[in-house]
């Protein structure tokens, strides 16, 4: 009988092989494929001006891979989709890192989600979304983005009521399957919950090229959810788009965002994993009594053709019950280059980026889209003697192979250093992901 560590180690290697085999299979005529249902006319627009309920989760692939998942009913349209992600990770740590936070090779189902959305056939534009996800780590089913969106052109925007993203930063709004890395930054994971229950206004002013998000959330229905770390929160985000050129395939996006929140049950714990979902927390302040939390962030994104450069930095000041006001901070910078020439599509009203769609997918006889990425994160969760959450930075070169609109393969290497309790430890990360999204 294998020891648990051996089983996890073998699982990780099996998934690395499975990811490569499945990707190669996508190009074979012997493998099942929905490419036969694809349409010849694939949009090449790089700036989208339509925003549906569910924001990034509601984005439809450019290619109509299948037709059976759409229905045109008497009262509403209906589209069914799903997401399926498998992760594997291996680690190499020096002795100092092992003494700080030991890791184990691991692999398995990251998540499986069912997505439904549609447009009501009403005079005033309205749409809806429903998401249900199986969390592979917690082994539980959870409701994801679910609610109704109503357009209010009188206010140059729309309102969403239900469970959704808070609207803080482009990378946090984007569905996790579409971001330009394996995971979101450590500060975003620590400071901003993935979802909230409440109401959000999403305004867009095309003449000024300005997007505005205002949200208010409470935990009356989500008290027992894993993401519910605040009793209530108020969020705002303002984005200016000085460059939106379809001709040049250019976008320049500059945003500021802020949030005020009341911690759940009067306690906070700023913690985050090191860019690997399967790893334990590297940054962790421990649990401490607190009354309020104040978050401020800046983001800048420039895209021209196949090149994209994105940066974000966030600060969070917590009002501890002891009278202290610890400040935690961190951010990331990412450079992405689509070697095969595609551009990441940009949704102007939502101020976020969509999924990469290959010019010629593998099932069409092409190479798919190859995306080379270099990311750098830095985080400081230390403040005085009372708060020693650690300092952590990580450099991550990675490649994403967008086989087609439905299938994506990720391979990443990371080099990270954790400074905590007077010790500096180095960890190397070897990660892969096999992702399906319809």
Query: What are the pLDDT digits (tens) for 337-360?
Result: 999 999 999 999 999 999 999 999
Kindly tell me if the per-residue pLDDT of 283 is higher than 90: yes
Query: What are the pLDDT digits (tens) for 424-433?
Result: 999 999 999 9
Number of domains the chain is built from = 1
Instruction: Tell me what the pLDDT averaged over the chain comes to.
Output: 87
Flag the least confident range among 16-30, 253-267, 282-296. Answer: 16-30
What is the pLDDT at residue 23? 39
Kindly tell me if the per-residue pLDDT of 164 is higher than 90: yes
| DSSP track, 272-309 | E-SS-TTS--SEE---EEEEEEEEEEEEEEEEETTEEE
Rg (CA), the chain: 21
What is the pLDDT at residue 384? 86
DSSP bridge partners of 387: 383
Kindly tell me if the per-residue pLDDT of 281 is higher than 60: yes
How far apart (Å, rounded) are the C-alpha atoms in residues 316 and 372?
A: 31
Query: What are the pLDDT digits (tens) for 370-386?
Result: 999 999 999 999 998 89
What is the pLDDT at residue 62? 59
What is the pLDDT at residue 36? 35
Do residues 273 and 306 lie in contact, with contact meaning Cβ atoms separated by under 8 Å?
no
Kindly tell me if the per-residue pLDDT of 38 is higher than 50: no
What is the pLDDT at residue 397? 98
Q: What CATH code is carried by the domain that includes residue 90?
A: 2.40.160.10
Catalogue the E-assigned strands of 174-324: 196-205, 210-218, 230-245, 250-263, 267-268, 271-272, 283-284, 288-304, 307-320
What is the pLDDT at residue 65? 54
Do residues 416 and 274 lie in contact, with contact meaning Cβ atoms separated by under 8 Å?
yes
Kindly tell me if the per-residue pLDDT of 158 is higher than 50: yes
What is the pLDDT at residue 224? 78
How far is CA 408 from each of CA 7, 52, 66, 207, 268, rounded to the nearest angstrom? 26, 24, 17, 36, 36
| DSSP track, 42-89 | ----SEE----TTGGGGPPPSS---STTEEE-SSBEEEEEEEEEEEEE
Which element (helix H / strand E) includes 185? none
Query: What are the pLDDT digits (tens) for 205-263?
Result: 999 999 999 999 999 888 878 888 899 999 999 999 999 999 999 999 999 999 999 99
Flag the least confident range among 28-42, 204-218, 314-328. Answer: 28-42
Kindly tell me if the per-residue pLDDT of 6 is higher than 90: no
Kindly tell me if the per-residue pLDDT of 35 is higher than 50: no
How far apart (Å, rounded) are the C-alpha atoms in residues 305 and 409?
A: 22
Neighbours of 30 (CB within 10 A): 6
Mean pLDDT of 196-212: 96
Mean pLDDT of 306-323: 97
What is the pLDDT at residue 226? 80
Do residues 187 and 203 lie in contact, with contact meaning Cβ atoms separated by under 8 Å?
no
Mean pLDDT of 140-166: 93
Domain containing 38: what range? 4-437
3-state secondary structure of 331: strand
DSSP bridge partners of 142: 133
Kindly tell me if the per-residue pLDDT of 107 is higher than 60: yes
Higher-scoring residue by pLDDT: 102, 228: 102
């Amino acid at each position: 009988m294998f020891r648990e560590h051996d089983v996890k180690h073998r699982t990780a290697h099996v998934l690395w092989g499975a990811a490569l085999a499945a990707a190669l299979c996508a190009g074979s005529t012997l493998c099942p494929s929905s490419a036969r249902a694809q349409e010849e006319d694939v949009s090449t627009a790089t700036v989208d001006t339509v925003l549906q309920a569910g924001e990034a989760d509601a984005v439809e692939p450019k290619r109509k891979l299948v037709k059976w998942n759409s229905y045109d009913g008497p009262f509403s349209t209906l589209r069914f989709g799903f997401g399926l992600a498998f992760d594997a990770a291996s680690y190499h740590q020096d002795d100092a890192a092992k003494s700080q936070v030991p890791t184990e090779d691991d692999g398995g189902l990251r998540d499986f989600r069912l997505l439904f959305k549609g447009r009501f056939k009403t005079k005033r534009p309205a749409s809806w979304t429903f998401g249900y996800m199986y969390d592979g780590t917690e082994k539980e089913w959870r409701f994801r983005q679910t609610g109704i969106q109503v357009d209010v052109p009188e206010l140059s925007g729309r309102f969403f009521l239900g469970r959704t993203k808070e609207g803080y930063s482009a990378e946090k709004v984007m569905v996790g399957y579409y971001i330009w890395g394996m995971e979101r930054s450590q500060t975003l994971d620590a400071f901003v919950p993935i979802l909230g229950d409440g109401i959000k206004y999403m305004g867009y002013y095309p003449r000024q090229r300005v997007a505005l998000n205002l949200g208010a959330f409470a935990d009356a229905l989500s008290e027992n959810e894993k993401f519910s770390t605040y009793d209530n929160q108020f969020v705002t985000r303002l984005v200016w788009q000085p460059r939106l050129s379809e001709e040049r395939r250019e976008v320049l996006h500059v945003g500021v965002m802020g949030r005020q929140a009341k911690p759940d049950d009067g306690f906070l714990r700023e913690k985050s994993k090191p860019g690997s979902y399967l790893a334990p927390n590297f940054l962790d302040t421990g649990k401490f009594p607190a009354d309020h939390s104040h978050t401020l962030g800046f983001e800048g994104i420039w895209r021209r053709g196949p090149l994209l450069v994105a940066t974000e930095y966030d600060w969070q000041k917590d009002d501890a019950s002891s009278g202290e006001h610890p400040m935690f901070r961190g951010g990331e910078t990412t450079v992405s280059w689509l070697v095969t020439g595609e551009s990441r599509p940009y949704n102007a009203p939502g101020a976020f980026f969509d999924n990469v769609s290959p010019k010629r997918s593998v099932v069409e006889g092409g190479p798919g889209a190859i995306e080379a990425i270099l990311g750098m994160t830095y985080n400081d969760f230390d403040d005085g003697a009372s708060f020693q959450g650690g300092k952590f930075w990580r450099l991550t070169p990675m490649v994403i192979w967008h086989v087609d609109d439905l299938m994506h393969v990720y391979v990443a290497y990371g080099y990270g250093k954790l400074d905590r309790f007077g010790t500096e430890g180095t960890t190397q990360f070897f990660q892969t992901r096999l992702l399906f999204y319809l």
